[in-house]
Chains A and B, each alone.
Chain A
Amino acid sequence: MAENRVFDIAVSPHVGSSQNTRRIMWDVVIALTPALIAAFWFFGPRAIMLVAASVGAAVLTEWLCLKFMKRPVNFAFDGSAVVTGLLLAYNVPAGVPWWLPVVGSAFAIAVAKQAFGGLGHNIVNPALLGRAFLVASFPVLMTAGWIAPMQWKDGERIDVQACGVPTAHLMESGELDALSGATPLNALKQTFSWEGEPERSEEVRAMLFSKESIKNLFMGRIGGCIGETSVIMLFLGAIYLILRGVLELRLPLSYLGSVALFGWLFGGQGWFDGNPLFHLLAGGVILGGFFMVTDMVTTPVTKKGRIIFGIGAGLLTMVIRRWGGYPEGCSYSILLMNLGTPLIDRYTKPLSFGEVKKNG
């Protein structure tokens, strides 16, 4: 009899899909690239410089943390730090100094991610916590660093009209001095405070909700954070992720649907007079909806849980926009819901196959 061969053994299954964590992360990086191109177009080379600084700081911080904790440093190159760095930079205004995203990224990686155990163990989205840290620590820079789109190219100081933001009204109220290019959400927030002047606020809102304004929002020709303005480019990235099987649609659809619904419900001055399209396209909702609400690590794993998460984040976004202290509520809403993720998962555990519900 021939000599018998021996083999290594392993647990089943012996085959697996080609999907892996590294591939998912780099797919997200690829999907975020179109928005980077838009950022360059609208905000100039400065935007690229900030993004590069942020990504570099994120990867370096990750590497240092892993080195310090004596963990395998190749985790620093799995793409997840790059995603965090990108998202953080996308969430700051283009007019901030270069060190701001660097500080933010370092905080995001070191505190929000590595301090909790690294990839897969962080409780909240690192990029968003990094941004919250920046807003709390450098409020003026983070809320006044707006650059008007195309300013770098046209050389004009402000091209506010193109943003659909009514310059004259802001001039009158004296707000414009503080802004080098207001965002549409800023303008909307102002109108809520003009209680005594219903006509004026009505007129401004009509302009914000106009077709021209919506078109600018869609293309990204508005003031805003680096990566959030160009809806069309973010859509391109989202389509790529869907084609690659990375994006599960329950989270983004429930979030966007909820923003649209509550935006219509109370996104204007009264009830039922908000413009859902405006609320979807303005601010960070599209960026958040496709790239941050969908962060796998910090969102529920159950199907029902993902829908609850999306609806909750959408509701909080609109509550902050309408009544909160900030013009935009996207990032805080996601952070708040992140904290609820374990609870949501716990209470939405599905009935397993053949299991009977116990007393309803």
Chain B
Amino acid sequence: MSKVKSFAGGTHPPGNKGLSSGAAIVRLPAPGVVTVPLCQHLGAPSKPVVKPGDEVKKGSVIGEQNGFISLPTHSPVNGKVLRVENAPMPHMRSGPAVVIKTESEDGGEVYEPIANWENADIPAIINRVKEAGVCGMGGASFPTYVKLSPPKGVKIDTLIINGVECEPYLTADHRLMLERTDDLITGMKILARVLGVSDPCIGIEVNKPDAIELLEKKGVRVVRLKVQYPQGAEKQLIYAAVGREVPAGGLPLNVGVVVQNVGTCVAVADAVCKGMPSLRRITTVSGLGVNSPGNFEVCVGTPVSDLIAAAGGYSGDVERLISGGPMMGMAMFTDAAPVTKGTSGILAMSPEEVRDVEEGPCIHCGKCVDVCPLNLVPCAIATASEFAMWEDAEKAGALNCMACGTCSYVCPAGRYLVHYIKRAQNEVRALIRAREA
């Protein structure tokens, strides 16, 4: 058994994964109306290529790629376009979306499967990943094909698959590792071949022993990781798994590493071997605010309210509805917003689960400094931000923060450290732009 690895810093929020970790993935049919966002991936939204009244097939392109860091968007159903409009989004107030009336989910247009991917042209595989609209399924939704096309001169020697799932409550990746194991392994092999990596590994926290055992039995190299938030953050995962420190402001490829989420691997396998674009995802619905938490495979564009209904409905008082995990997830103002490719979970949190502490002054306890996985001094950045001292915030390293929320989690004064730092990041970026202009 390999040694359990970790990174420096971090904290231990209660996992609460038991609420849904035992629930097998339930496949939900497409709802009567889907609201497919054109901004599911990081980067420029896809450009809509349909108009109201158009007939669309499942898998047909409804939004085309619009720039390098962008992806096409496909229809998850056969049906008729009702509207192209701005709709509420889980990760932002509103964004462009295509509203489609579902007729059926059968057949549809799919790409030609690349059955012999072991010998196929590598650019053809990368192109498939791109045209299938695959983006990172871990949360940040970065277009996957970009990560597979490193700039000239950059040598990638390590591929780490992210099966850490360090966010409390979330169990979608865990279930996916148990139930889509073969697709996961195929996707991993495809990615390894594309990148020219011979010995990829998968990082998993030791709180998922069944997944570790299953994958090892199938011959996958597993890196056991300590249960510690944020173990699944890209830079922390790389450090724990291979001991390399990604430069501040740099990317994993600067140290020869590519990280891909387990869900992304399955999406890649589906795109390459089955020719299936990225139309569905597995997501967790949990929290004490729903009656029966579980894991669901749903069409993108499914309203969150449908997911909640599938999980037995609201159980009572819901203080907060979150897209993602409780540490980094976004609070949603309405359950009318649709699921996107990046929706790793939907949490309906009861009042007793949500932290309710009145914000007080910083007492300089230094706990945020002790836990910051990026070795920053969060309280100093936050104070600079509070007083609009943007240059000080920049010097204190505001831009290096990944907003993992560990500092806010431990802060005894209940300070909104992440909020202050994110604010500072916006202002510092504006400052830098102004300086360069």
Binding site for B on A (CB under 8 A): 1-2, 4-17, 19-21, 23-24, 78, 117-121, 248, 296-303, 306, 345, 349-356
Contact = CB atoms under 8 A, between A and B. Distances in A.
Contact of B400 (A1, A2, A7, A355): A355
B82 interface: no
B256 to A, nearest CB: 14
Nearest to A75: B360
Interface in B6-50: 11, 13-14, 33
B320 interface: yes
Given A14-B320, A15-B13, A350-B375, A20 B357 contact: yes
Closest 6 CB pairs of A and B: A16-B355, A120-B361, A13-B405, A301-B366, A9-B331, A354-B248
A15 B320 CA distance: 11
A306 B373 CA distance: 19
A85 to B, nearest CB: 18
Contact of B305 (A2, A20, A303, A351): A2
Contacts of B414: 16, 20
Given A16-B414, A17-B409, A354 B400 contact: yes
A4 B334 contact: yes
B150 interface: no
Given A14-B320, A19-B412, A301-B364, 16 more contacts: A5-B318, A5-B335, A10-B320, A12-B330, A13-B328, A14-B322, A15-B326, A17-B412, A21-B412, A120-B364, A296-B365, A301-B377, A303-B369, A350-B369, A352-B374, A355-B375
5 contacts: A9-B320, A13-B328, A13-B418, A20-B357, A354-B374
Contacts of A20: 357, 360, 412-414
A345 B416 CA distance: 21
A23 B422 CA distance: 28
B408 A16 contact: yes
Contacts of A354: 235, 245-250, 374, 400
Given A13-B409, A352-B397, A302 B168 contact: no
Contact of A306 (B246, B320, B366): B366
Could you say which of A1, A117, A121, A353 has the most chain B C-beta atoms within 10 Å of its C-beta?
A353
A350 B9 CA distance: 13
B349 A17 contact: no
Nearest to B249: A354
Contacts of B427: none
Contacts of B409: 13, 15-17
A211 to B, nearest CB: 39
Contacts of B314: 5
Contact of A353 (B14, B235, B334, B362): B235
Contacts of A349: 377, 380, 396
Contacts of B368: 301
Given A119-B360, A351-B375, A353-B375, A12 B327 contact: yes
A109 B272 CA distance: 70
B329 interface: yes
Contact of B418 (A12, A299, A302, A353): A12
Could you say which of A11, A23, A296 has the most chain B C-beta atoms within 10 Å of its C-beta?
A11
A17 B410 contact: yes
Nearest to A11: B419
State the main secondary structure of chain B at its contact with A.
Answer: loop
A120 B383 CA distance: 12
Contacts of B318: 5, 7
Interface string B330-370: 11111110000000000101000111010011111111111
Contact of B329 (A12, A17, A299, A345): A12
B363 A4 contact: no
A23 B412 contact: yes
B201 interface: no
B321 interface: yes
Contacts of B396: 349
B415 to A, nearest CB: 10
A5 B305 contact: yes
Nearest to B358: A20
Given A12-B330, A16-B409, A301-B379, A353 B403 contact: no
B374 to A, nearest CB: 4
Given A14-B354, A20-B357, A352 B376 contact: yes
B276 interface: no
A45 B128 CA distance: 84
B334 A15 contact: no
A166 to B, nearest CB: 44
Contacts of A21: 360, 363, 412-413
B248 A355 contact: yes
Nearest to B378: A301
Contacts of B309: 2
B69 to A, nearest CB: 22
Given A4-B335, A5-B335, A297-B364, A353 B374 contact: yes
A90 to B, nearest CB: 21
A257 to B, nearest CB: 19
B373 A16 contact: no
B411 interface: yes
A276 to B, nearest CB: 28
B15 to A, nearest CB: 11
Given A21-B360, A118-B361, A248-B370, A352 B413 contact: no
Contacts of B416: 11
Contacts of B365: 24, 248, 296, 301
Nearest to B405: A13
A119 B363 contact: yes
A7 B334 contact: yes
A334 B6 CA distance: 37
Contacts of B422: 11
Interface string B203-222: 00000000000000000000
Nearest to A296: B365
Nearest to A16: B355
Contact of B366 (A1, A9, A19, A302): A302
Contact of A119 (B354, B361, B379): B361
Contacts of B321: 5, 7
A338 to B, nearest CB: 11
